[in-house]
Amino acid sequence: MDDNREKHLYHLDVKGATHGWKSRSLVAFARTKPPKGPGMKNSLSVACLALFVGICVAGAQQMARSTSSGVFTADQAKNGERAYQSRCASCHGADLRSTDPEAPDLTEGIFKFGWKGKTIAETFEQIRSTMPLRNARSLDDQTYLDILAYILQFNGAPSGTQKL
């Protein structure tokens, strides 16, 4: 093996097109390349790797959904409204505008500010682990998801064809 070989490190920048993804650098490929010669085999390896990473990133972007693409069904939001009215409205208000100083509004301003940048999973976990007050995790997961769907719909998110 020739001691004069150069080490090359290839980086690919991966940027997510969906809400919440951050730009990050991914070390994709490290190899040793001789300083002379056509390097066809090495070039082909790099091209194949780049194609593979591109396909993986595109697939991940297609699988990721955002609230603007409809992440809940209309029926789910309707079920969520019934559950919300019976279990949440006494504190957060029938119209999601709280009259209780201890309970936040679930519309506009503070609601959107408090959940901005969070994933649906993070928002779900926050609700499940804190609500109802002094009785967290007392509802089944589907009820929490339905209530979240209702809150999202109330705040202008469109419904889709798949349940949360």
What gap in Å lies between CA 47 and CA 86, rounded to an integer?
Answer: 58
Arithmetic mean of pLDDT, 91-107? 91
Q: What is the pLDDT of residue 39?
A: 56
Tens digit of each residue's pLDDT (9 = 90 or more) over 118-147: 899 999 999 999 999 999 999 999 999 999
The residues near 133 (Cβ < 8 Å, ≥ 6 apart) are 91, 103
Indicate whether 57 pLDDT > 80. no
pTM confidence score = 0.61
| CATH domain 69-154 topology | Cytochrome Bc1 Complex; Chain D, domain 2 (1.10.760)
Q: What is the pLDDT of residue 64?
A: 59
Q: What is the pLDDT of residue 8?
A: 36
On whether the CB atoms of residues 47 and 12 are closer than 8 A, the answer is no
| Domain residue limits, the chain | 6-63, 69-154
What gap in Å lies between CA 65 and CA 120, rounded to an integer?
Answer: 10
Tens digit of each residue's pLDDT (9 = 90 or more) over 6-53: 433 333 333 333 334 333 333 333 344 444 555 555 555 554 455 455
User: Which two three-digit tokens encode residue 128?
Assistant: 């499940």
On whether the CB atoms of residues 65 and 159 are closer than 8 A, the answer is no
